[in-house]
Amino acid sequence: MTKFLEFIGKQLIYSFGIVGEVLILLKRTVFAFREAPHNMPSILAQVAIIGYETLPVASVMAFFVGMVLALQTGVELSKYGTQDIVGSIVGLSMVREMGPVMVSFLVAGRAGSAMAAEIGVMKVYEEIDALTTLEIDPVRYLAMPRLIAALICVPILTIYSDCVGMLGGAIISHLHPKLFISYATYTDSLRLALKFREIAAGLIKSFVFGGIIAVICCYVGFNTSGGARGIGVSTTRSVVLSFMLILVADYFLTRILM
């Protein structure tokens, strides 16, 4: 029992240490924002990687998620003659939950893993030490552009995915023989359900999730060691940690924003 408690204590201390290091990295990165005007090429490059290159995958995923939501809820509601509210269900599901979480998972798996791998390679091959020798702050040079790009791109991708998902729901609701909901009815249901509060809550979530992805993936990259194997481990670790923290943050944000 004593050994077990000792093990738990060591794990808690280790976890608190990691939290402290992540917060320090976040603080240094935010303080580096004042140098953003001088790093516009790097920021725009990261915006292209995180935002533009993610659009095709986000489009396909959001479209079919919207169709699935409309199909599953619509068929069940049609049994009670209330399928006309499918639009509001799809819209609220996408805006409140599916859009922010789905896009954040996609960005973490695609762009976040690339962040951790790229910085991890630089760490293993001592390129970050070379930057320090040249009096270039690695946080300003590497982490700051990625954090700014994530804070910009994830909310924009979320809005785009919400719209695509609602479009997919409208198409399947109109074409499915058990539903056959007109586009006007679907749009009216959406307009009645979606208020500014719901849209703002989804954008706040996506903004926080974007910050989590960038900070966690950069932190894991900066702490990579062990050669090629270490880079692979860090890449996997960054995605897993991002997924876990997104879900934890989603719960607390939902409680606060309800």
| pLDDT tens by residue, 158-208 | 999 999 999 999 999 888 888 888 888 888 888 888 888 889 999 999 999
Assigned domain for 12 exists: no
- Structural domain contains residue 4: no
Q: Residue 14 domain-assigned?
A: no
Identify the band that residue 257 occupies on the pLDDT scale cut at 50, 70 and 90: confident
26 within a domain of the structure (yes/no): no
Structural domain count, the chain:
1
9 lies in some domain: no
Q: Could you tell me if residue 120 is inside a domain?
A: yes
Whether residue 183 lies inside any domain: the answer is: yes
Its pTM stands at 0.91
Write the DSSP assignment of the chain as a string of letters. -HHHHHHHHHHHHHHHHHHHHHHHHHHHHHHGGGGGGGGHHHHHHHHHHHTGGGHHHHHHHHHHHHHHHHHHHHHHHHTTT-GGGHHHHHHHHIIIIIHHHHHHHHHIIIIIHHHHHHHHHHHHTTHHHHHHHTT--HIIIIIHHHHHHHHHHHHHHHHHHHHHHHHHHHHHHHHSTTT---HHHHHHHHHHH--HHHHHHHHHHHHHHHHHHHHHHHHHHHT--SHHHHHHHHHHHHHHHHHHHHHHHHHHHHHHH-
Which of the four pLDDT bands, split at 50, 70 and 90, describes residue 7? low
State which residues form the domain around 225: 39-257
Q: What is the pLDDT of residues 175-187, one digit of tens each?
A: 888 888 888 888 8
Quick check: is 50 in a domain? yes
Model confidence band, residue 4 (pLDDT cutoffs 50, 70, 90): low
